[in-house]
Structure 1
Amino acid sequence: MPESANLAELVCHCRQAWASKPSVPDPSRSMEKHSVAICFVHHAIAGLRARGIAPEPVLQAAGIAPALLAVPQARVSAASYSALWMEVAAALDDEFFGQDSRRMKCGSFAMLCHAIVGSKTLGQGLERVVRYFGLLLDDIRVRLEREGVDGEPGAGKRARAALVLTATSSQPPGVFAQETMLIMLHGLMSWLLRRRVPVLLAAFSYPEPAYAAEYRLMYSRHLAFGQPATALVFDAAWLDQPVHQDERSLKAFLRDAPHNVVVKYTDRTSVMARVRRQLRAQPPEQWPTFDRLAHDVHMSSSSLRRRLMEEGGTYQQLKDEMRRDLAIEALSHSSRPLAQIAAELGFAEPGAFHRAFRRWTGLRPGAYRGTPSQA
């Protein structure tokens, strides 16, 4: 993560990566994230283990069964993961989860939000964010760059901006530190403008991890690894957009944090978001056929199929993801019988639900619920 890496160099490197790697739609793509892969739970509790704190009570307080750590395919609800952030931060008195040599003491994030809520534009708000993190942390720095560069293949020349992470020493911050910082930065950007700010490129200074498909949900469809720096690249025009928050709305934001930072605002203009809204408006057993859905969103079947593929998914994948996340939520936070949950999710018989849930998470629904803190 060299200090000398600039935006032009970063985009140049990433353009080479795009040229050498064909664009293939990711089957796990979804514009709204309601469950979190278990690998991020491992990352979140690493700081506890490093300080000799047993993670099991913290996991249970967040509604996450410690036994799930042994299941590579397991997922937890976004609500449970957000609760875990709160529990780990409280246990360490560190809202950066032990990822920096200086603690980001509890309450720091709230003070950061108070510092930026009076900003006139997103650009001014991000400048304040950069300065604030510079005061809070020792090992990782953020800088805001603005530059006019050539766009990615197929796009004309446009002005770009980037939030770039840098290290203060030759030892780069850990992967989870970088992931967490990007989640915070993107969440704050999206909150200030009351909409999910599109990330044109998420670049990472480290090699592609095994769970990289999750990054397409967290950051952007366009990813590049092994780059000169870790950064979020976005259209510079967003920097001039006025901030749409005030002290009153800040209270509501902090009341729901960190869930609204983890999930972020959704891209309501995407076709996937439109489809998900259609599905959420009715119970799963009444979800429409594909042709009926196309009619409901005022598109031809072929156009809808093409647009979904362009965004990296299919109707069946969207339905599976929504059923998976609804199932995780129901098993984690309700005591309804499994047969009732299966029927509510649109499965004709419980056995089909059991097979699907095991395919999604590696566990049978009864085993998932039966582990401690999932009952």
Structure 2
Amino acid sequence: MSEKDTISMQLVREALAQTCPHGEPDSGLLARAGIAVEQLHLPEARVSAESYARLWRLLARRCNDEFFAMDPRGLRSGSLAFLCRASMAQPTLAAGLETALAFLSLMLEDLQPSLVRQQSLAEIVINEPRDTPRRAFTYFTFWMIVHGVACWLAGRRIPILAIELRCAEPPFCDDYRVMFSQNLQFDRPRTRMILAADGLDAPLRRTAEELQRFLAEAPGNILVRYRDPASLGRRVRNDLLQLDPGHWPDGEALARQLCLSASTLRRRLAEEGQTYQGLKDSVRRELATVWLGEAELAMGEIALRLGFADSSSFYKAFRKWFGCNPGHYRALVQARGARVASTSAADAKVPSDLPAR
């Protein structure tokens, strides 16, 4: 694992919130995880992903709960191993994922997930009691388990088009966006993850030896998507988000803005596993999913905003990025909002056969 893979100390505090309810973190446990207790409350402090993974395992063993006591029933130690073993025995990724979600529904009391396929898209929806939403950390821990296992079953990273959550946006979202998707939507009526469905019918061929390696390295092998927020790649990406794609500088101009030579810019990005073109494509993907959720923007306008010559070019690029039709994605994200608005309006309307008060 790279030295640059780090986790916000805020996520360490979140992990401790349920397991140390009296606000007194176990300094001995933190020391075993390689985390300095004196840095625990420093706003900008970060820890290595390896230390966070070690803390995860220590807390799970201490609580006998691989879900950090965030559900009345929880996931007893060994749940992840059983989930993976049952899922890998299925013929396809879809069947394996449905088995994993069925197991989580059986084990957990409040979070009841299900897989729904919508043409070229799939969504994993969490049904839960209609009371106060859970903490963002609870939802993201759930997604970390589900998405991490799904990627392992598939043998590749499965792109996430969007994640919608019932809770309010927390003040520390950078790690979540790097880990999952830049397209995180909060204060939504339901919590769900939207994926392309093109690979769900792929056969599963995982072996017992591969399972043993995966479990021995978990959850560190799931956390490696985290990157240093102060990296050059993150800075370039954030700068691109502030500009219209039509005004993005070319590589030479970007290097001059950063007071670097073009070769130094390429080398430093390469050291982080990045390229300038890759960063531009990443921002385009993010903007595409966000703008497709805005009903007032026509498909042609989105294409032009992103720098494509026409809707057809945008359509082909979107299918290449996510393996699904942009029209299907737009219909899925907007249909749920329309149904919620319609339901709210109906609930607010006074029935005509009731007397006015």
Residue 194 of structure 1 and its aligned partner are, at CA, apart by 1.3
| Paired residues of 2:7 and 2:226 also in contact (CA < 8 A) | no
Q: Equivalent of 1:118, from 89, 101, 105?
A: 89
Distance in 2 between residues matched to 1:144 and 1:33, nearest whole Å: 34
Aligned partner of residue 55 in structure 2, secondary structure: helix
Q: CA deviation at 1:309?
A: 3.5
Paired amino acid for 2:221: N
Residue 66 to residue 146, structure 1, CA distance change in 2 (3 Å): same
2: CA distance between counterparts of 1:105 and 1:129? 15
Q: Which residue does 1:253 correspond to in 2?
A: 214
Aligned to 2:263: 291
> Which amino acid in structure 2 is aligned with residue 92 of structure 1?
C
Once the two structures are superposed, residues 118-140 of structure 1 have per-residue CA deviations (whole angstroms, 9 ceiling, x without a partner) of 12211001110111001111111
Cα distance change on mapping 1:51 and 1:292 into 2, 3 Å = closer
Correspondence list, 1:92-103, <5 A? 92-103=63-74
Specify the code of the residue in structure 2 equivalent to 1:98.
Answer: A
Say yes or no: does 1:131 pair with 2:92: no
Contact 1:141 1:168 in 2 (8 A): no
Cα drift, residue 265 of structure 1: 11
1:185 aligns with 2:146: yes
Higher relative contact order (CA 8 A, sep 6+): 1
Greater shift in the superposed pair: 204-213 or 121-130: 204-213
Q: Which runs of 5+ in 2 are unaligned?
A: 228-232, 234-259, 285-357
TM value normalised by structure 1:
0.60
Q: In the TM superposition, what are the counterparts of 1:334-349 in structure 2 within 5 Å?
A: none
> Does 1:199 find its partner at 2:160?
yes
* SS, match of residue 231 in structure 1: strand
1:146 matched to 2:117? The reply is: yes
2:126 matched residue in structure 1: 165
Q: Flag structure 1 segments of 5+ consecutive residues without an equivalent.
A: 1-31, 149-158, 267-271, 273-287, 299-303, 314-375
Q: CA deviation at 1:289?
A: 5.7
Kindly state the Cα deviation for residue 292 of structure 1 after the two structures are TM-superposed.
6.3
Q: CA deviation at 1:163?
A: 1.1
The equivalent residue for 1:279 is none
1:172-215 deviation digits (Å, cap 9, x = unpaired): 33322111001111101111111111001121112222112222
Distance 2:62 2:268 in 1: 48
1:45 equivalenced with 2:32 (yes/no):
no
Q: Which residue of 2 aligns with 1:72?
A: 43
Query: Considering only CA atoms, is the larger Rg found in Structure 1 or Structure 2?
Result: 2
Amino acid at match of 2:67: F
> Per the alignment, do residues 206 and 173 of structure 1 end up closer, same or farther by CA in structure 2, a change over 3 Å counting?
closer
Could you tell me whether the CA contact under 8 Å between 2:166 and 2:188 is conserved in 1? yes
Cα 1:297–1:213, aligned 2, differ >3 Å: closer, same or farther? Answer: closer
Instruction: State the distance in 1 between where 2:108 and 2:25 align.
Output: 25
SS in 1 for 2:113: strand
1:232 to 174, 193, 198: 193
2-structure distance, mates of 1:297, 1:59 = 33
Would you say the 8 A contact 2:6–2:226 is kept in 1? Answer: no
Distance 1:261 1:33, change over 3 A: farther
Shift in Å, 1:295: 9.3
Secondary structure of the corresponding residue to residue 166 of structure 2 = coil
Q: How far apart are 1:162 and its partner, in Å? A: 1.0
Superposed displacement of residue 263, structure 1: 2.6
| 1:216 corresponds to 2:187 | no
Distance 1:90 1:289, change over 3 A: farther
CA distance in 2, matches of 1:139, 1:122: 25
Note the C-alpha offset of 1:46.
0.9
**8 A Cα contact 1:191 1:264, kept in partner:** no
Note the C-alpha offset of 1:101: 0.7
**Which of 57, 61, 76 is the matching residue for 1:90?**
61
Deviation sequence 1:64-120 (CA, Å, 0-9, x none)? 111111211011000000000011111111110010111311111111111111122
Kindly, what percent of the aligned residue pairs are identical?
33
Shift of 1:58: 1.7
| Structure 2 CA distance for aligned equivalents of residues 305 and 45 of structure 1 | 38
Amino acid of the residue matched to residue 103 of structure 2?
Y
Amino acid in the other structure paired with 1:99: M
What is the aligned residue count? 248
Q: Give the 3 Å change call, closer, same or farther, for CA 206–103 of structure 1 in structure 2.
A: closer
TM-score of the aligned structures, taking structure 2 as reference length = 0.63
2:283 and 2:141 mapped to 1: Cα distance? 24
CA RMSD of superposed structures (Å): 3.0
Q: Does 1:242 align with 2:212?
A: no
Q: Is the 8 A contact 1:138 1:168 kept in 2?
A: no
Structure 1 SS opposite 2:160: coil
- Whether the 8 Å CA contact 1:68–1:74 is kept in 2: the answer is yes
Secondary structure in 2 matching 1:130: helix
Which amino acid in structure 2 is aligned with residue 182 of structure 1? W
Counterpart in 1 of 2:307?
none
Shift of 1:168: 3.7
CA shift for structure 1 position 39: 0.8
